[in-house]
Structure formats: structure tokens, C-alpha cells
Structure 1
Amino acid sequence: MSTFSVVSPGPLTTFQDAGRIGHHAIGLTEGGPMDFRSFAIANRLVENDINSTALEITFGGLILKCLKPTTLCLTGAYAPLFINGKAKPLWQTHQVNSGDEIKIGFAGIGVRSYLAVSGGFDSPRWFNSSATVIRESLGQALQKGDSLTALGNAKPANRLHYLKQASLRKQITLRFIAGYQWQHLTAAEQAKFLACDYQISPRNDRMGYQLEGDAIDSGIEKIYSEGISKGTIQLPGNGQPIILMNDRQTIGGYPKLGSVISADLDRLSQLTAGASVRFIAISPEQAIREFNAYSDEIEHIRFEALTLSQSA
């Protein structure tokens, strides 16, 4: 029996697991959650495996009708959560029952929210993953009337301490590892890139974040297409950087200045048009330390157990 019926899907709501790994050779990108930390913590809160399928909700607007009991939680962007019209805390589990209405309003801060349910959502799989990549025809956005099924039963009530919740800002610094093509920039062009406050363009989506600011001359006239990773800072002909994200193409022929580290991509994915970013270069050794700290924090994060009265 289905657990939810979709009353309103919002602008863009998709199934996502941790991503489709190992298929770049046939041109498939990984997809997966844009804000991995929020996605992973949502699954951890309902005691799922981190790779369980959750919903990524862009901007909000999702309304579900509950058809049988389960446990859910909402993390990520600061979008209001209502159960039967009553506001409920984010970053905390909630028990829902048959007949309940779950409504996620539009985000006041941030872009992407993650709804996890006990056991994860039962969803189609392609190439060993449920990650939706619409550009590659691997799944589609939720539609009104769709049925959703949670694979688990109700779980204990947990919440994440507010000091551990995401801190969303409109101005952030992105740490990146310089790539081998960075050396083709003159010292003046490198300094210009690092000193610029770039604005997020309205042309941003799950493929990439286009930036507006000082145009950078790469000093490279022609290069062969080569593989590109998530977080790559690509420099097209107009000199305006693009940060490639989860649904990017797998190869590209533009110069690449380097790659933004994982923890900072989470924060980037919550920025809207007009927000500001700066760049700072770090060493590969520092990037490895940052990644290990980021992974350890997700793996070992502790929650507060709630009593029934606290979770009501």
C-alpha cells in the first residue's frame, strides 16, 4: 500500500539517493543530492542507510496526503513544514498517520530541502541508482497524483541540535584546489579571480552555477575535451566562471581553473540568484583534511532523543 499521495509536487521535486557512481565512461553523470550533508543527515535522523532514497525539493511547495503511518523529517533549506496545518520543526523526526496532510512551504532561506522517510522511498532504479537526472531521461520530477511508498515503519523521535544545523548565508567563500590549467593564467588574472566578488547568475540549476563578475582570460586558445568532475570551475569563452554541479556533462572542452571542495558545494547549492561568492585556493593536502573532517562529521554526528511530548 502507498504511504503518500502527491497533492502538489512543487516546482521541482525528485527522487535522489547518494548518486550514480561509476558510469562516466558511458556518459552518465552521478546526479544525487546537491546538498549532500543535509540529505545524509535527513536519512540518519530516520535511521536509514545514507544511500537511501529521499526527496529533493527545490524551493518548496510540496503537499502530500499520508495514507499510512511512517516517520519523516525535513532538512536543508529553511522552508516551513506543516503537518495538518501546524508548524513543525525542521531537522527533527515526526510521526505521521493516515489522513495527515504534510505541507512544505516555499523556502525563506536556501533552495533545496530533503524529505526522508523511514526505510527510504521505494523508487525506480537505473544503473544501480535511484538518482533522478532529467536531462539524461533517468526519471522525472514528481507529478500531482503520484503515489509514494516508504519502505520502513515508524522510528524513534530524534532531532539535530540547532548548532549543528546548516548555517545558510548569502555571501560565502568557496575553497578550491587549483588545476593544472590554472598555471596558464597570468599572475594578474589569478589575482583578479581571487579578489572578485562574483554574483550567482539567474542561469543556475543542477547542471551548474553560472557566475557574473570580472571576466578572466585563461590564456588558453584551444584544448581537447577531457573529463570533468563535480565542482569544476569551468571558464567559457566569455570569461565568466561556471561551477559544474551534479547533473553536469561528463566531458568538456573549456579551460578549468580548479575544483571546489565538497563541503563548500553543499553551501553553494543553497544560494539563489544575486548571492555572492569569493574563491580561495587551498592545497590538495588541506582539501583532503577538510574532506575527512566533513565525512567524519556526517558519519558520527549525534542526535538528541525526544520524548513523545517533545516530538508532538
Structure 2
Amino acid sequence: MSATPAALSDLDAAALLDDIEAFEAALEAGGGPIAVVGPPFAGRRRVLDHAASALDVSPTRLDPSTDRETLIGEGPLVVDDCQHLYDRRVGGFEPLTDALDALAGTSTPVVTGWNAHAWSYLDAARNVEDVFTHVFSVRKLPSDELATFVRERSTTLPTFRHDDPDADLLTVKERSLGNGGLTVPIPVVDRDRLRALFEATVEPETAVFDHLTDAADGNPGVALALWERGRSGGEMRPNDVDPPTVDLDHRGAFLLRIVLSQGVVDERALADRFGNALERPLGRLDRADIVTRADGTVRLDPVGVPAAVAVTEQWGFL
């Protein structure tokens, strides 16, 4: 069972920002537009809900089907998933430019939410941070806080065990060469097995949650999904925290970067962009549980976030 953003609905917004007092002061001051930036499933929506409650407005959430021409006006206003204001193609930035121009002229509270991966690209390509009076980032949770978060959402806890420290330290992975489909086997050190050698003196429960935190990069929604994926029977070991992996060529990795940055994408828009080259990588991502295809959309799965980040950064995509 994968975690969804709803699983974070009862997480206090104060736990998600480094400085909730500064955020609330910015809401009260109303001196200009505010950006809240966070990775997928990390709790950004909860922060935006908190802002909407403080401003006594209903939040607007964008998606691929939203009419993007009439979104940003005078505040108070809360608009989440603003990464849907642009498409990563020639001519795809006009709605974003119009929205940023409107935001630049407002002095009332307008709180916007952004996917962190889209934000990093847009700030490099369009200097979006310059428009905002305040930018707040959703923080990563440390292992102790993440462990508390997961425990509170589990009806029963497993018996925690150490991994087998005597397993082979080397494994073989296939790596793509270029776009021609050629792969080569490469021996690599199994970091999980190496970790097991050094965790023998650590309490197994601590080792599991440390591994969970590392795999999820402190993201509570991803951690909860990986926890549910790894639980089997009555025991749990660090290596049961096992994010899916996938090996993609340059085109496939670029496709995945679009999904990672948007969260959910219209499959028809992807077909228009990638044509006959879409089905093979998209099918692999679906089978690997990194994305889910349903109702004409491609949606990033929480357990797929670590692989999506690793693969697209391996290819150097912003």
C-alpha cells in the first residue's frame, strides 16, 4: 500500500517548516507573494492548507486540466501545485510568465505551492525566486522524527532484525549505453550489505529507521510508502526498505524528470511530445511501480521518488 498526500493531512504544519513563526508572520503581514517549495509527498499540501485556514480562504489546487489563464489575482489567495503553470517545451512558459507578472504587482497575501524539482529548474531558467517576498522550504525530517511519524501511523509494529552481514558485498547491475538499447554488466558494491556490516552494534529498530530515512531522504510521505512496501510478515530488516529501481536511457530519464517535476501529467501531452518513443520507457516505469497510469494520466508513485531523483540526476537534468 502506497502513501498518499492524505496520509500527511494530520501532520502539524509546524513540523514541516524550519520556521513556522516566520511563515505565519508573513501571512499576517501580507506584504507580497509567498512561495512554499517542497518535494512530492513531503507535506507541502499540509502547509498550504494551514495557510488557507489562517487566511480564511479555500485553497486552489492546479492539475494538468486546469485553465491556467485566470489563476492569479488579488489575494488573499492560496494556490498549490503551481508547477502546472508551465510545460517544459518551446512556448510552454506563457501562463507562468503571466502569473509571475501578476504576482510581482500584488501586495496582498498570495501563497503559492511548488514542486521542489520544478522550482529548481524554473529558478535557473526564469529566476522565479526574484518575484517572491518570502520563500519557505519544506524540511527533511531526521530519523527520530520520521520514526515517530511512521510508528504513529502503524497499528502494529514488526519485530526488528539485523540484515545478514555475511551476504555478498558485490552485485552486478546492467547499465545503458547511449540511446541504442545496449547495456553492459557492471559490478558494484552493494551498499546495503556494506551497511549491514557496520550496523551490527546498532539496535535493529534504529538501523531500520535510519535506513528508511536515508532511502526517503527525510521525506515523510515517501518514507511511509516505503515502510508499507517493506513490511512482510511479522519481521522487518533494514534491507526490507527497498525502493524500486530502473535504468533508463537519456530520453526515458527526461520523461521521468517531467513526471517528477509535475507529479501528475496528461498522458496525451506526453504522447504528443515523445510519440512512438513513449510507450517503452513509460511501460517500464509503470511495471517498476515508479509511476501509475490511470484515467489518461501518468502519476508519480511515492515509492518511486528515490529512483526518479537518482536516475534523472545521474543524467544531469535540472
Question: TM-score, normalising length from structure 2?
Answer: 0.28
Q: Which has the higher helix share?
A: 2
Question: TM-score, normalising length from structure 1?
Answer: 0.29
Q: Which has the higher strand share?
A: 1
